[in-house]
A = this chain, B = another copy of it.
Amino acid sequence: MSEEKIVTAALIIIGNEILSGRIQDANLSYIATKLNDEAGIRLAEARVVPDIEAEIVEALNAMRAKHDYVFTTGGIGPTHDDITAESVAKAFGRKLIRHPEAYRRLVAQFEARGMEINEARLRMTNTPEGANLVENGISVAPGFQVENVYVMAGVPQVAHAMIDWLAPRLEGGKPVRTKTLVCSLGEGNLASGLSDIQDRYAEIDIGSYPFYETGNYGTSIVLRHTDEALLEKAAAEVADLMRSLGGEPRDKI
């Protein structure tokens, strides 16, 4: 894969519990960082969808056509609200089958632990036909992959274990490097000079983020690009801009 190629991914977070506000997603930031740092894959968009098959299918089909990779979290457990496997099968027009290897492992583990093997638990071994398993060291409910779609758990410990296993196995481009400069100036003071720097370095993603904390007010300027030398050059200009306005740049809030 060429060094210039930008490889993108979408994340589909499946879960009523996120949309209701009951719990806060704890996977997006972890997955985005892992994909970039270990696989050179950029998370380009994310969607949070409810536990409704038609909504999941629509998001899957839109995202898998638009991006190199699609990752999903949530909905792979044994209960009635876990409908991700069925939804992925539908999106790809594949049959839902009991995955032989997932089945073998689940039965072996549950027998070893002396836990009841029932129909609900066996549902966790359903995947679209032709799926490959995604490993994790925690849960017996496997994730799986169909073409460019990777299905992972919603529970953060399990989702993180799955992306930890996956990331080094995925093909991407160069990781994006980040350089952050912080100062006590307001965004409005930096804006004009920053815009000039952005114009000169159109290829660098330059973000400006204000922060307000008691006794601590200012702006973080975040520069992102794959080329570290280019990044350092632009960052030096941002540092000069800050100094010229009376704001000594530092690394952290």
- Which chain A residues have a beta carbon within 8 Å of chain B's beta carbons? 16-26, 28-33, 36, 42-51, 55, 77-82, 115-116, 118-121, 123-124, 138, 155, 157, 176, 178, 186-192, 194-195, 198, 205-212, 222, 224
Within 8 Å CB of A20, what residues of B? 32-33, 36, 43, 176, 178, 222, 224
Could you tell me if A29 and B23 are in contact, using CB atoms closer than 8 angstroms?
yes
State A35–B199 Cα separation when bound (angstroms).
40
Within 8 Å CB of A79, what residues of B? 187, 190-191, 194-195, 208
Could you tell me if B48 and A45 are in contact, using CB atoms closer than 8 angstroms?
yes
Within 8 Å CB of A207, what residues of B? 16-17, 51, 81
Could you tell me if B81 and A157 are in contact, using CB atoms closer than 8 angstroms?
no
Assess A45 versus B55: contact at CB under 8 Å? Given A20-B176, A120-B188: yes
Number of copies: 2
A30 to chain B, nearest CB (A): 7
A31 to chain B, nearest CB (A): 8
Could you tell me if B19 and A33 are in contact, using CB atoms closer than 8 angstroms?
no
Within 8 Å CB of A51, what residues of B? 207
Could you tell me if B157 and A16 are in contact, using CB atoms closer than 8 angstroms?
no
State A176–B21 Cα separation when bound (angstroms).
12
| Residue of chain B at shortest CB distance from A188 | B121
Could you tell me if A116 and B48 are in contact, using CB atoms closer than 8 angstroms?
no
Within 8 Å CB of A33, what residues of B? 20-21
State A9–B124 Cα separation when bound (angstroms).
32
| Residue of chain B at shortest CB distance from A117 | B188
State A25–B31 Cα separation when bound (angstroms).
14
Could you tell me if B21 and A192 are in contact, using CB atoms closer than 8 angstroms?
no
| Pairs A-B, 5 closest by C-beta atoms | A120-B191, A21-B32, A21-B33, A79-B208, A121-B188
